[in-house]
């Protein structure tokens, strides 16, 4: 059995980007470990959502614990850097935030977990962090460096297949999605073009767990959000595959169907 470590920026990122893959690996008996760089304390939350005296970091920790239970995560760790906030905000300059962390120092923290776990697989993000968020970009930089330090044999960048989503807009599911949202989703700069993608994991059998993991993060993903308000058919079309670039691999077709080596289960 393999050990797969999923590295994410904030609580809820794992549910959006890699939850299906995590649930699939766990269901097949592999060890799934989640490492989260920050506690997401600068996320937005509706007025009155938190209990008196409760901080957003505390609520998001509870939500993440629930999501981990849904996905079969065997171990979760925080790197405990500060949330950097959105791109261009003053919080990006906080010396304690993840964006300002020394790459090698942060990578050493992650590499210690990878080494202790004997990780066979590591996932981070593509070089733009899928959409440019400073903490997501830093996950890419720190994750790939940690993979080098720990000698992880299979390192992947979780990404979005931009071409697939753009093509989906021309289908009935895409039309239903636009109708539900009331506008065309802003996907033109998400992820990467399909030509760069090496791996497409079919997670259709785990969409219920992916959706429940999203629902667990109620402070950030409401029932009326883009993620949860789309019709079931559109949800399956958008989230039924999770996309990766395997670091150091040549691009071949068809896509790899798993983060595991060929023939492994």
Is residue 103 domain-resident?
yes
Output the six-digit token pair for 255: 């896509």
pLDDT attached to residue 181:
73
Is residue 107 domain-resident?
yes
Q: What order do you get walking across the sheet with 75-81 strand by strand?
A: 75-81, 31-38, 3-8, 121-125, 154-159, 241-246, 199-202
pTM assigned to the model = 0.96
Whole-number Cα distances in Å, 41 to 36, 89, 102: 12, 14, 20
pLDDT tens digits along 136-168: 999 999 999 999 999 999 999 999 999 999 998
Would you place residue 85 in the very low, low, confident or very high pLDDT band (cuts 50, 70, 90)?
Answer: very high
Range of the domain at 115: 3-161+192-246
pLDDT tens digits along 178-190: 777 777 877 888 9
Would you say 184 and 240 are in contact if contact means Cβ atoms under 8 Å apart? no
Is residue 257 domain-resident?
no
pLDDT attached to residue 265:
58
pLDDT tens digits along 38-59: 999 999 999 999 999 999 999 9
Would you say 70 and 112 are in contact if contact means Cβ atoms under 8 Å apart? no
* Chain mean pLDDT for the chain: 95
Task: Look up the CATH number of the domain holding residue 200.
Answer: 3.40.50.10320
């Amino acid at each position: 059995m393999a050990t797969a470590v999923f590295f994410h920026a904030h609580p809820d990122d794992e549910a959006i980007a890699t939850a299906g893959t995590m649930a699939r690996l766990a269901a097949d008996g592999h060890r799934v470990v989640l490492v989260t760089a920050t506690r997401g304390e600068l996320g937005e939350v509706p007025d009155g959502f938190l209990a008196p005296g409760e901080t957003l970091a505390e609520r998001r920790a509870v939500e993440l614990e629930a999501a981990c239970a849904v996905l079969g995560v065997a171990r979760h760790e925080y790197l405990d850097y500060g949330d950097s906030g959105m791109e261009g905000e003053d919080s990006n300059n906080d010396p304690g935030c993840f964006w300002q962390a020394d790459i090698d120092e942060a990578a050493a923290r992650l590499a210690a977990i990878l080494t202790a776990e004997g990780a066979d697989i590591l996932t981070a993000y593509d070089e733009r962090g899928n959409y440019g968020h400073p903490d997501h970009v830093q996950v890419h930089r720190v994750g790939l460096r940690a993979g080098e330090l720990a000698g992880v044999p299979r390192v992947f960048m979780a990404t979005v297949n931009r071409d697939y989503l753009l093509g989906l807009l021309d289908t009935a599911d895409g039309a239903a999605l636009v109708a539900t949202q009331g506008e065309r989703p802003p996907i033109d700069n998400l992820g990467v073009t399909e030509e760069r993608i090496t791996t497409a994991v079919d997670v259709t059998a785990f969409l219920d767990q992916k959706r429940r993991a999203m629902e667990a993060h109620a402070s950030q993903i409401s029932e009326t959000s883009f993620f949860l308000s789309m019709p079931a058919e559109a949800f399956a079309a958008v989230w039924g595959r999770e996309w990766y670039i395997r670091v150091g691999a040549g691009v071949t077709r068809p896509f790899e169907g798993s983060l595991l080596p060929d023939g492994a289960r």
